[in-house]
Amino acid sequence: MGTDSGDALITLRNSLRDFANERDWDQFHSPKNLAMALAVEAAELLEHYQWQEAAENPAKVREEVADVLLYLIRLADRLDIDLAAAARDKIALNAQKYPVEKARGSARKYTEL
């Protein structure tokens, strides 16, 4: 993450680096392993909504959302991706793919607009 990233992301990234270093976990935190862990945490988040419209345990949903964010930050760090810049770039790209005049109120994919 570069210097233009939000202070909160940098603080979290540094905390995660310290946490992993103190436990000698860098050896396990390959991009592949982190991506897999991220997918598992996202699936755990989805479990709270399976077969229902609203989660029954908001506190557990909060924990799973945090897990997803933390693994994403750690993965971006290991890949030397400025997460905030990547997100800004993706929003700009999506704005081009989904112009308001075509996409407003539509759930269609950009290729179908």
Residue pLDDT, tens place only, 40-75: 999 999 999 999 999 999 999 999 999 999 999 999
Within a domain: residue 2? no
By 3-state DSSP, what share of the chain in percent is helix, strand and coil, each rounded to 5? 70, 0, 30
Above 90 in pLDDT, residue 20? yes
Kindly report the pTM of this predicted structure. 0.87
Residue 46 lies in a domain: yes
Domain presence at residue 59 = yes
Question: With bands split at pLDDT 50, 70 and 90, how would you rate the model's confidence at 2?
Answer: very low
Residue range of the domain that includes 101: 7-112
Does residue 62 belong to any structural domain of this protein? yes
Q: Does 44 fall in a domain?
A: yes
State how many domains the chain has.
Answer: 1
Q: Is the per-residue pLDDT at 101 higher than 80? A: yes
Q: What is the pLDDT of residue 12?
A: 97
Burial class (CB in 10 A: 0-12, 13-18, 19+), 62: exposed
